[in-house]
Amino acid sequence: MMEATPPTDSVAENIRATVPWLKLMGVVNVIGGALGALTIWGVVFAWLPIWLGVVLLRTAQQAEVWVRSGDPAGLADLTRRLRTCFFVASVAAVVGLVLAALGTVTATVIGLGLSRWLLRWRGG
């Protein structure tokens, strides 16, 4: 059985440099979700960016703990949290794409219907 090798300084430095970005994206997502919750449609989907923001902030905390300790179990927990970040971000992206497609189809149908109505109203 192969033993885990201790992390190199470059891995620790990369993770240390990632922490501020994790925090920034976490705060941005929480604020974006809170602002989105102020709209009618946003109330339904605002939990996704808020959840992603919380997961990113917790991941940043775990990264800071791991950089201080260097514990292999902590690194495994950090990568698990990063996997969760990617999962939630992927779900949010798919939901966003579906909503954008539905919005485009709805706007097109309404636009075509309105143009036909205007042509009939003008007598054309």
Whole-prediction pTM: 0.74
38, two tokens: 């102020």
pLDDT score, position 20 = 96
Q: What is the pLDDT of residue 2?
A: 57
14-65: pLDDT as tens digits = 999 999 999 999 999 999 999 989 988 788 888 889 999 999 999 999 999 9
pLDDT attached to residue 121:
76
**SS (HEC) of the chain:** CCCCCCCCHHHHHHHHHHHHHHHHHHHHHHHHHHHHCCCHHHHHHCHHHHHHHHHHHHHHHHHHHHHHHCCHHHHHHHHHHHHHHHHHHHHHHHHHHHHHHHHHHHHHHHHHHHHHHHHHHHCC
Sketch the domain layout of the chain as residue ranges: 10-92
Is it the case that residue 124 has pLDDT exceeding 60? no
Residues 63-112: pLDDT tens digits? 999 988 888 888 889 999 999 999 989 988 998 899 899 999 998 888 88
Q: Is the pLDDT of residue 1 over 60?
A: no
Once rounded to an integer, what is the mean pLDDT over residues 2-25?
Answer: 82
User: Please, what is the Cα angle at 104 between 100 and 120, to 5 degrees?
Assistant: 160
- Split at pLDDT 50, 70, 90, the class of 5 is low
